[in-house]
Amino acid sequence: MGLKIVYGPVPSKRLGRSLGIDVIRTDNKKNCNFDCVYCQLGHTDFKVSYPENVEGLVTTQEAINALVKHKNRIIDVDYITFSGTCEPTLNLEIGNMIKQIKNITHVPVCVITNSSLMERKDVRQNLLNSDLVIATLVTGFEETFKAINRPYPGIKLENIINGLEKFSKQKNQNKKTELAIEIMLIESKESFPMNTTECEIDKLIEVTKRINPDRIELLTVNRPPAENHIIPVSDEKLKQISDKFTSVFGSEKVELTFANSKKKVSKYTHKNLNDDIYSLISRRPCTFEQICDSLGAENDKVKSSLEKLIKDNKLITIDSGNYIYYKTKSATN
């Protein structure tokens, strides 16, 4: 079972029900220019550098054909989202893809990026076609960035922050695109540079002020991370950090997502539920409840599909301590 270009809808705490587009063919392996310690997809199989060196790029025509083929899935989704098993800005056709999507649907388009290529003018130009850009930032310190995001050599945090600053100014001119900065907060069971200390939070506030986004989204790990020692930040501490951001940016700009919040979705009839479950889980491990909620499928049907996929050696279960997650077998090898 290879990965499809269009997948989902998938559950998203921030975006509700989101139809995903993957713009790099990965053969069920994770390609990224980061290898984040908190990544829900596990370790990066191929650490890639820059768009010019990436293989398996999906073309605009392929992406549009795939979307048209799954047009029935666009009904009831809140967003069409570029995300998936790789960093979407590595595909420089993404700007064209967004323009063409706008010709076939009014559903807003979101790009979730790790911000790594924001220093590039062509990447910023591509992103200006979208309705929403969610850009990740975990720290204002170069050393913490290297420890948490483990970027491809040569990618510098200062360039990322400068790029985000430039993008924010550009999008303020065209007033079409919204910029949200997503701050993933993590703690560790071991001695590891965490981004929740007072010094880290002060620095994060300082660089976020420089960037001047429309929204700031604070969240923590809620799926099994790549490194076992990484743990979620407690609700209490998240609230304290959120209060600090709110006192600087105002409550209307700051959004805090606790690990267990979710949005309700409507029921949906699946032509091939096994395929849809596999496709969903390939992008992110999910609990039973998350699968049912995401796909709008009945519990009994999801249960028998999961049993079949496990029997066929396609899925495994992992126990995070609090929840049982379903994960694709090949993504763990």
Site for ligand SF4, rule CB under 6 A: 32, 34-36, 39, 41, 44, 87, 114
Q: Identify the H or E element spanning 8.
A: strand 6-12
Number of neighbours of residue 7 by Cβ within 10 angstroms: 26
Structure tokens at 240: 């304290």
* Closer CB to ligand SF4, 114 or 195, in the complex: 114
- Distance, C-alpha 318 to centroid of its chain: 21
Closest CA to 130 of 86, 87, 100, 90: 100
Q: At what angle do helices 299-311 and 288-295 cross, to 10 degrees?
A: 120
Q: Considering the complex, what minimum distance in angstroms separates the CB of residue 39 from ligand SF4?
A: 3
* Closer CB to ligand SF4, 36 or 64, in the complex: 36
Backbone angles phi, psi at 271, to 5 degrees: -70, -40
Q: Considering the complex, what minimum distance in angstroms separates the CB of residue 115 from ligand SF4?
A: 9
* Closer CB to ligand SF4, 44 or 287, in the complex: 44
Q: Considering the complex, what minimum distance in angstroms separates the CB of residue 314 from ligand SF4?
A: 21
* Closer CB to ligand SF4, 32 or 273, in the complex: 32
Q: Considering the complex, what minimum distance in angstroms separates the CB of residue 41 from ligand SF4?
A: 5
* Closer CB to ligand SF4, 83 or 242, in the complex: 83
* Closer CB to ligand SF4, 114 or 305, in the complex: 114
Q: Considering the complex, what minimum distance in angstroms separates the CB of residue 239 from ligand SF4?
A: 24
Measured CA to CA, the distance from residue 284 to residue 121 in angstroms comes to 30
* Closer CB to ligand SF4, 26 or 208, in the complex: 26
CA distances from 70 to 84, 249, 305, 332 (A): 17, 40, 21, 28
Q: Considering the complex, what minimum distance in angstroms separates the CB of residue 153 from ligand SF4?
A: 15
Residue partners of 12: CB distance under 8 A and separation at least 6: 18, 79, 81, 263
| H and E: helices and strands count for the chain | 11, 14
Give yes or no for a cis peptide into 11 (omega within 30° of 0).
Answer: no
Q: Considering the complex, what minimum distance in angstroms separates the CB of residue 43 from ligand SF4?
A: 8
